[in-house]
Amino acid sequence: MSAMQEEVRSLLQSLKNPKEITKGMRTYYTGVLFDKKCVIVFSRWGKVAAASTATQLINDYNLNEIIFTGVAGAMDPSLNIGDVVIGKELFQHDLNATPFYQKFHIPILDLKSITIKTNDRLLKSTHLFFDNYNAYIDKTESAVFKIYSPKVIIGDIATGDQFISSKQKMNDLKNELPSAMCVEMEGAAVAQVCLEYEVPFSIFRIISDKANDNAHIDFSRFANSIASNYALGILKEYFSYTLFFYLFLSNSMNNAI
């Protein structure tokens, strides 16, 4: 899943035997991606759009997991454009049901955040992608966005139905959620749906800006030339790593027998 059409462009171009079906104004593409059966969908922006798309995915397809990818604004000064954040704790920063619940707590669930189980394979896959970075990312494009030594971290993510583009808003948000490394508009909503349906969920976000008064990059170009190819490279390594792990486990079991 991704919230921008541009972010799944490279994945769709690599999808084999594609078939598509449209429901609820969403087009779901099924096929084989790097020897794995998968569904690719552009969810659109915002929590409602992402949650409804995730629910449709879960109800219509026999999923092993949902992976969300896309861009995010950095909240932590250690992050630079082109870095990757793999989600750990996901907060809905615009959720406030006080006095019935504490601020940020999800009604009924009474959770301040959704905890994502650490995905070591996704972390390893991102490192492998960085090892082969220029096979996916054009040097000219990375220079345009001043991406020189990108890194990956596991960190907390803040989600809300607003684009954070001022330094004051970012500082206020950071004061309330000091552990949050980046901010976006969909992740925590999808995480909540997956929690309630008991579907494994992972998310990785590519830092596109600093979520402040300087957040004025060409998002369409960044999504097309950078984020889309990050998704392609990371997921290619992820699917290959998963297949290798499965084959290794199978061989180990056979040897044990």
pLDDT in tens, 43-91: 999 999 999 999 999 999 999 999 999 999 999 999 999 999 999 999 9
Q: Give me the pLDDT at residue 253, please.
A: 35
Chain segment 86-114, per-residue pLDDT in tens: 999 999 999 999 999 999 999 999 999 99
Determine whether 176 is an active site residue: no
Alpha-carbon torsion, ordered 41, 42, 45, 46, to 10 deg: 0
Q: What is the mean pLDDT of the chain?
A: 90
Determine whether 7 is an active site residue: yes
Among all chains, which residue has been given the structure tokens 């541009």? Answer: 6
| End-to-end Cα separation, the chain, in angstroms | 40
Q: Give me the pLDDT at residue 242, please.
A: 52
Lowest mean pLDDT among 141-150, 172-181, 236-245: 236-245
Choosing from 6, 83, 89, 209, the catalytic residue is 209
Q: Give me the pLDDT at residue 220, please.
A: 85
Task: Give the pair of three-digit tokens for residue 245.
Answer: 């792990």
Give the residue among 194, 173, 209 at the shortest CA–CA distance from 70: 209
pLDDT surpasses 80 at 216: no
Neighbours of 124 (CB within 10 A): 15
Contacts of 128 (CB under 8 A, 6+ apart): 237, 241
Choosing from 7, 89, 156, 237, the catalytic residue is 7
What is the set of domains in the chain, with CATH numbers? 65-248 (3.40.50.1580)
Give the residue among 44, 45, 128, 54 at the shortest CA–CA distance from 84: 128
Tell me which DSSP letter residue 185 carries: S
> pTM above 0.75?
yes
